[in-house]
Each structure stands twice: as C-alpha cells, then as structure tokens.
Amino acid sequence: MNRSVALRTFVMFTIVTSLAAIIGWTSQVEIAEIVFLIGASLSALMLFFVWATPAPIPVPVRVRHRRR
C-alpha cells in the first residue's frame, strides 16, 4: 500500500466514522456506536500506514555517454 492510497482510505473512513457518530448521537442506536468504533480503528490503521511508508526517494543512476 502506498502513501496516496492510505491517505484516500483514511479520508473515506473518516467520513464514514463521522456519519456513524452523527447517527449514533441523534438516534442512540447501538449499531451506530459499533460502526463508529470500527471506522475509528480503521482510520487509525490507515494513518499508521501513511506514517510508516517511506517517502519515495529518487535513485541516482549513472548515465554513460557513447561516442560514435
């Protein structure tokens, strides 16, 4: 998993978690709290992947010039 995929997934889980928290707060439904906890856990996992993956670093390549 690369950094951009982890960031996009984090944003999606943040939106889902926010919606579950709003639904759970307004309706007092038990399942919304469970979805909120699952979404929060997955968001934390995606943030860990974002921070754990190294930033891409260009690799130096030696270029040889051919004379004809």
What whole-number distance in Å separates Cα of residue 20 and Cα of residue 31? 9
Q: In the predicted model, is pLDDT for residue 29 greater than 70?
A: yes
Question: How sure is the predictor about 1, in pLDDT bands with cuts at 50, 70 and 90?
Answer: low
Per-residue model confidence as pLDDT tens digits over 56-65: 787 888 888 7
pLDDT at 24: 73
What whole-number distance in Å separates Cα of residue 43 and Cα of residue 61? 38
Question: How sure is the predictor about 11, in pLDDT bands with cuts at 50, 70 and 90?
Answer: confident
Percent above pLDDT 90 for the chain: 0
pLDDT at 68: 67
